[in-house]
Amino acid sequence: MNKILETRLLAPAIKLFKVEALKIAKKRKAGQFIILRVREDGERIPLTIADSNIEEGSITFIVQGVGKTTKQLNSLEAGDFISDIVGPLGRPSRIENFGTAVSIGGGVGAAIAYPTAKALKEAGNYVISIVGGRSKEFVILEDEMKATSDEFYPCTDDGTYGFHGFVTQKLQQLIDSGKKIDYVLAIGPIPMMEGVANVTKPYRIETSASLNTIMVDGTGMCGGCRVIVGGKTKFACVDGPEFDAHEVDFKILSNRNKMYLTQEQTSEDEHSCFLDKMYEKGKANG
């Protein structure tokens, strides 16, 4: 059982959690993740560690409530407990002094890009951060990103904040402006990461993507997280989650991530139904 120390709503349905987990806080490096189970009989879901604090013995992660488990998680508050947390899992991000490094986070991917951007900055890189969201309220971790970046570009699909357009367009603009870019890290929805890889490929800019796959154990045992990288089968949990974005087969990844769409719908319906019933019961009880 891990105690939740603090929560903060960052955007609609996007919530930050600071949770007690001393051993993980001591060990984790940028790019690594945890697997948690909200409750007994809950599913195991992977979440990237956004930050940690050794003095407090805490780790921070950010959750977008999209399915049953993430919604259940987002209904928890400080003082509540999470049934199980295990980690840090996966290989840490590649951190070197590349020169100029661009960190691109799409949506909740900004939470995952943040620790790596911070580590890249500490390694001596000139860090450019591009953070995308549907609209202004979905641009998260702006202050944190600004603090670790030499240049910071928020982008919104609807133009309500920063650059009007996709992060890929902003990246292209930077390249077109003659900026020398040595390394790009892309984290976010699959089409975005694929888009970034397509932008950087002609310029042969080294590009990594952090893949979010289906996982059960997260330690190599189930093979559910298998992805094709450079024509070879890799396990995101033990070989990744970060891979050479130019080598990743995004089509297969995208397809595999849709595997449980029908069941997720059932699960969520049951969950909403359960909430409705609780609500009705609450009303009946007065």
Partner 1 sequence: MAELNNKERMRIKRHKMPKQEPEQRIKNFNEVNSGYTEELAVAEANRCIQCKNSPCIAGCPVSINIPKFIKLISERKHKEAAAVIKIDNALPAVCGRVCPQEEQCEKVCVLAKRGEPVAIGNLERWAADWERKNIGLQIPNKKPSTGKRIAVVGAGPAGISCAGDLAQMGHKVTVFEALHSTGGVLIYGIPEFRLPKKIVNIEIEALAKMGVEFITNCVIGLTETVDELLERFDAVFIGVGAGLPYFMNIPGEHLNGVYSANEFLTRVNLMKAYTFPIADTPMFDVKNKVVAVFGGGNTAMDAVRTSLRLGAKRAMVIYRRTEAEMPARIEEIKHAKEEGVEFCLLAAPTEFIGNENGWLSSARLQKMKLGEADSSGRRRPVPIEGDVEDIAIQTAIIAIGNGSNPIIHNTTPDLNVNKWGNILVEKDSMKTNKKGVFAGGDIVTGGATVILAMGAGRTAAKSINNYLNNPDAW
Q: Which residues bind partner 1 (CB under 8 A)?
A: 23-24, 27, 37, 41-44, 68-69, 83-89, 216-217, 219-224, 226, 228, 233, 235, 238, 252, 255-256, 258-260, 262-264, 266-267, 270
**In this complex, which beta carbon is closest to partner 1, that of residue 136 or of residue 256?**
256
Q: For residues 174 and 107, what is the distance between their CA atoms, to the nearest angstrom? A: 20
Could you give the C-alpha distances from 140 to 42, 154, 179, in angstroms and in order? 28, 9, 25
**In this complex, which beta carbon is closest to partner 1, that of residue 27 or of residue 136?**
27
Contact indicator for 86, 35 with CB cutoff of 8 Å: yes
Q: Which long-range contacts (CB under 8 A, 24 or more apart) does 54-57 make?
A: 54/22, 54/25, 54/26, 56/5, 56/18, 56/25, 57/20, 57/21, 57/22, 57/25
**In this complex, which beta carbon is closest to partner 1, that of residue 10 or of residue 227?**
227
Q: Which residues contact 16 (CB under 8 A, 6 or more apart)?
A: 6, 7, 8, 9, 10, 50, 60, 61, 62, 111
Q: At its nearest, how many Å lie between partner 1 and the CB of residue 204?
A: 27
CA nearest to 247, candidates 259, 234, 266, 260: 234
Q: At its nearest, how many Å lie between partner 1 and the CB of residue 259?
A: 5
**In this complex, which beta carbon is closest to partner 1, that of residue 71 or of residue 170?**
71
**SS3 at position 266:** helix
**In this complex, which beta carbon is closest to partner 1, that of residue 270 or of residue 280?**
270
